[in-house]
Structure 1
């Protein structure tokens, strides 16, 4: 039997359902910290698309819609993940097609994202999606005073 796949925005009151998937990306961040950060992120405009197979969450893609002077209004996919046992079935492409349609409906004219330099599979996926490398992502901690 073929599973029923649905892609939709996860309601803000259900946002914590993504925590188990986020922990597969980085198990060093505690559930409590993820809960606190998600609360802040939702307040800052964060949304998340979910991929459901027979009503079970099997994939996510965080979404930020922002405007920057050099690109205009755009969507930024963030921490896109399909659970390992559901990969290589075209779900990532389906999810991104949904994201692009959603972006258009919100008036976005582009999409840009970050991908870790160690994530070679991710880099290949994004390049296959038509993304071009245009820069480097830097990070610096700010020490508390």
Structure 2
């Protein structure tokens, strides 16, 4: 297994097929436009490859908030269905942990949908705990992926 950090629109677009496991209706055009907005705001991805095939990835952001100081936020954690339960998620998580340490972060944060119980179990097993609720107010439902 090989781990790579993806930082450009071109690098990230090469793994578009993987993002479609989570967002099957995502178009390349929409994804590219999102990336062009996100990358200048510190967005990157870390991906795991087996024989040049992307078998898992997550996006992440680096920032500072008043309540945490420096932090990393995990965004869209995806493991190819054929590679689940094979340690790919732990490899990605370990990479993010190391990155957070290198950047002197106080914590790593993420959102998991309330009904995604397998994800909750995975994150609990990695030492994550719920700290609050992430509230949203929908302005345009058609804009969701």
Say whether the fold is shared (TM-score over 0.5): yes
Which stretches of structure 1, 4 residues or more, deviate above 2 A after TM superposition?
28-31
Aligned length: 139
1:138 aligns with 2:113: no
Aligned equivalent of 1:33, options 25, 30, 35: 30
Shift in Å at residue 43 of structure 1? 1.8
Query: SS of the counterpart of 1:49?
Result: strand
Query: SS of the counterpart of 1:80?
Result: strand
Distance in 1 between the 2:120 and 2:70 partners? Answer: 23
Distance in 2 between the 1:39 and 1:20 partners? Answer: 18
Partners of 2:73 and 2:108 within 8 A in 1: yes
Aligned equivalent of 1:53, options 47, 50, 74: 50
Q: 1:39-59: CA deviations, max 9, x gaps?
A: 111121100001011121111
Structure 1: gaps of 5 or more residues: none
- Tell me what 2:4 maps to: 8
Structure 2: gaps of 5 or more residues: 141-145
Query: RMSD of the alignment, in Å?
Result: 1.3
1:116 aligns with 2:113: yes
Aligned equivalent of 1:42, options 39, 42, 45: 39
Distance in 2 between the 1:70 and 1:52 partners? Answer: 35
Query: SS of the counterpart of 2:2?
Result: strand
Moved more, 13-22 or 116-125: 13-22
Partners of 2:7 and 2:43 within 8 A in 1: no
With normalisation by structure 2, the TM-score equals 0.89
Partners of 2:55 and 2:88 within 8 A in 1: no
Shift in Å at residue 131 of structure 1? 0.7
Shift in Å at residue 88 of structure 1? 0.6
Partners of 1:51 and 1:59 within 8 A in 2: yes
Q: 1:79-115: CA deviations, max 9, x gaps?
A: 0111010111111111111111111112212111100
With normalisation by structure 1, the TM-score equals 0.89
